């Protein structure tokens, strides 16, 4: 009998003590960020399976999901939790989080690949993302995977100024973003993954992460 894919990640151990501490600080600062990171970790791990990646690569992806927004620890809660729209200067601060995360992670021996992925997780397939405007295959595969998992989770989370999207609407948005924001192959894998899942995530009442 074929087993249905799980969207929940196993517990991944972050070996480095300093990074583990930083991750704990972010999670303590915001339970919303913790829940978001855990869900993204689960989607990334499952996407790795869907894309036929090795167990080692999938574990790496699961860890990246947990750590992708670690750079947000230097963003004040007044910005992270601000209801409604942000000012341009506040967006500038938010846009620093991949760079901050890269700085923390690249200081750790053996975490170079994780650091590069975190740096690139807000790049867009069409080159319109940040911080470096990389496009297509210039963006590391793991970062293209995180981008889809991250966007889906943000879309199915409620916003103070509008309701969250349903699962179907979020899938439609991902498809619309193919070749613009997202790698087409990763979007297709995500759709196939969700088609095979026993239960799709319910729209969440929690606020979405900022970026």
User: Is residue 127 within 8 Å of residue 139, measured between CB atoms?
Assistant: no
What is the dihedral sign for C-alpha 204, 182, 125, 66?
positive
For residues 39 and 201, is the Cβ–Cβ distance under 8 A? Answer: yes
> What part of residues 56-95 is at the interface with Fe ion (CB under 5 A)?
69
- For residue 162, the minimal CB distance to Fe ion (Å) is 19
Closer CB to Fe ion, residue 48 or residue 65?
A: 65
What residues from 114 to 133 belong to the interface with Fe ion (CB under 5 A)?
none
Q: Which residues contact 30 (CB under 8 A, 6 or more apart)?
A: 72, 77, 80, 81
195-199 long-range contacts, CB within 8 A, separation 24+: 196/4, 196/5, 197/4, 197/5, 197/7, 198/4
Q: How far is the CB of 4 from Fe ion (least distance, A)?
A: 25
Using CB under 5 A as the binding rule, the residues of this chain from 139 to 158 that contact Fe ion are 150
Q: According to the binding rule CB under 5 A, does residue 33 interact with Fe ion? A: no
Minimum distance of Fe ion from residue 1's CB (angstroms) = 35
Query: Quick check: helix, strand or coil at residue 3?
Result: coil
Number of residues that bind Fe ion (CB under 5 A): 4
**Binding pattern for the stretch 153-192 against Fe ion, x by CB under 5 A and - elsewhere:** ----------------------------------------
Report which DSSP code applies to 14. -
Nearest to Fe ion of 93, 150 (CB atom): 150
- For residue 3, the minimal CB distance to Fe ion (Å) is 28
Q: By C-beta, is 156 or 211 nearer to Fe ion? A: 211
Q: How many CA atoms lie within 13 A of 60 on its CB side?
A: 18
The residues binding Fe ion (CB under 5 A) are 69, 150, 209, 211
């Amino acid at each position: 009998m074929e087993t249905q894919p799980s969207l929940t990640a196993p517990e991944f151990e972050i070996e480095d003590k300093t990074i583990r501490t930083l991750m704990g600080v972010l999670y303590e600062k915001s339970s919303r960020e913790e829940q978001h990171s855990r869900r993204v970790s689960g989607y990334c791990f499952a996407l790795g399976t869907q894309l036929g990646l090795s167990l080692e690569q999938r574990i790496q992806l699961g860890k990246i999901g947990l750590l992708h927004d670690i750079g947000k620890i230097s963003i004040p809660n007044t910005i992270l939790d601000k209801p409604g729209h942000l000012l341009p200067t506040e967006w500038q601060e938010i846009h620093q989080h991949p760079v901050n995360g890269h700085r923390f992670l690249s200081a750790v021996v053996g975490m170079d690949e994780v650091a590069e992925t975190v740096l690139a997780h807000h790049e867009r397939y069409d080159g319109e993302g940040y911080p470096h405007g990389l496009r297509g295959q210039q963006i590391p595969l793991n970062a293209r995977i995180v981008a889809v998992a991250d966007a889906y989770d943000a879309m199915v989370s409620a916003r103070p100024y509008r309701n969250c999207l349903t699962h179907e609407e979020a899938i439609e948005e991902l498809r619309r973003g193919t070749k613009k924001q997202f790698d087409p192959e990763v979007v297709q894998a995500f759709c196939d993954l969700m088609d095979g899942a026993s239960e799709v995530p319910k729209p969440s009442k929690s606020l979405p992460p900022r970026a």
